[in-house]
Amino acid sequence: SGRLDGKHALVTAAGAGIGRATALAFAQAGAKVLATDIDSNALATLAAEHPALTTKLLDVTDAESIRALVHSSGPFDVLFNCAGYVHAGSILDTDDASWRRSFTINVDSMFHLCKAVLPGMLERGKGSIINMASVASSIKGIPNRFAYGTTKAAVIGLTRAIAADFVARGVRCNAICPGTVKTPSLGERVRALGGDEAANWRSFTDRQPMGRLGEPEEIAALALYLASDESAFTTGTIHVVDGGWSN
Residues annotated catalytic, as ranges:
148
CB of 242 to ligand NAD, least distance (A): 8
d(CA 128, CA 111): 15
CA dihedral sign, ordered 206, 21, 238, 94:
positive
Instruction: Decide: helix, strand or coil at residue 33.
Output: strand
Binding site for ligand NAD (CB under 6 A): 12-13, 15-19, 37-39, 42, 58-61, 82-84, 86, 105, 132, 134, 178, 180-181, 183-186
Nearest approach, Cβ of residue 109 and ligand NAD (Å): 7
Please give the residue whose beta carbon sits closest to ligand NAD in the complex: 84
d(CA 85, CA 76): 25
**Residue 15 or residue 127: which is nearer to ligand NAD going by CB?**
15
Cβ closer to ligand NAD: 5 or 45?
A: 45
CB of 42 to ligand NAD, least distance (A): 5
In terms of phi and psi (left: phi > 0; alpha: psi -120 to 50; beta: otherwise), the region of 198 is: alpha
* Residue among 38 and 221 whose Cβ is closer to ligand NAD: 38
CA 68, CA 94: separation in Å to the nearest integer?
Answer: 33
DSSP line for 147-186: HHHHHHHHHHHHHHHHHHHHGGGTEEEEEEEE--B--HHH
